Amino acid sequence: MIKDIEGPILLFDGVCNLCNKTVQFIIRADKKELFKFTSLQSTTGQSLLTKVKLPTSHFDSIVMIEDGKVYTKSTAALKVCKKLGGIWLFLYPLMLIPKPFRDGIYQLIAKNRYKWFGKSNDCMLPSPDIKKRFL
């Protein structure tokens, strides 16, 4: 299934307000429409997580799958910035910061995201014009 999908796939926490706003931002900034999206909670998301051997019940990271490689946490976020290009490309050198430190900051935000940004009862439903980008 993964090999049939062109471009990077982003899996995100569908009930997290921060995650949903981030996906909406990426959709607007991704002028080349490179990214495909699915929530971690969806049937497709669960299937992809199983295929790449990631937990299917702990949703504390964005996951990016591209060319058979899996990226999580700060690495996934910075890879997204690199793909978006433009001004966002300037964030990519943060990859030089040791991964444990980057991921520590990511984990702090992930741990508090519901408290700081809220949680919705349902996953985001894409509008008809962007539905083709969701798996």
- The pLDDT of residue 123 is 63
DSSP string, 86-127: GGGGGGGGGGGS-HHHHHHHHHHHHHHHHHHH-B-SSPPPPP
Query: What are the φ and ψ backbone dihedral angles of 60, each rounded to 5 degrees?
Result: -105, 15
pLDDT 10s digit of each residue in the chain, 135 long?
565 667 799 999 988 899 999 999 999 999 999 999 999 999 999 999 999 999 898 888 999 999 989 999 999 999 999 999 999 999 999 999 999 999 999 999 999 999 999 988 766 666 777 888 888
- The pLDDT of residue 25 is 94
CATH no. for residue 69? 3.40.30
Supply the range of the domain harboring residue 103: 2-127
The tally of domains found in the chain comes to 1
With respect to residue 132, please indicate whether it lies within any of the assigned structural domains: no
Residue 10: name the closest of 31, 108, 42 by CA: 42
**What distance in Å separates the CA atoms of residue 51 and residue 65, rounded to the nearest whole number?**
11
With respect to residue 72, please indicate whether it lies within any of the assigned structural domains: yes
Q: Hey, how many other C-beta atoms are within 10 angstroms of the C-beta on 34?
A: 16
With respect to residue 53, please indicate whether it lies within any of the assigned structural domains: yes
With respect to residue 25, please indicate whether it lies within any of the assigned structural domains: yes
Amino acid at 120: S
With respect to residue 49, please indicate whether it lies within any of the assigned structural domains: yes
**What distance in Å separates the CA atoms of residue 22 and residue 26, rounded to the nearest whole number?**
6
Task: Evaluate whether 12 touches 39 at the Cβ level (below 8 Å).
Answer: yes
- The pLDDT of residue 5 is 65
- The pLDDT of residue 2 is 60
With respect to residue 44, please indicate whether it lies within any of the assigned structural domains: yes
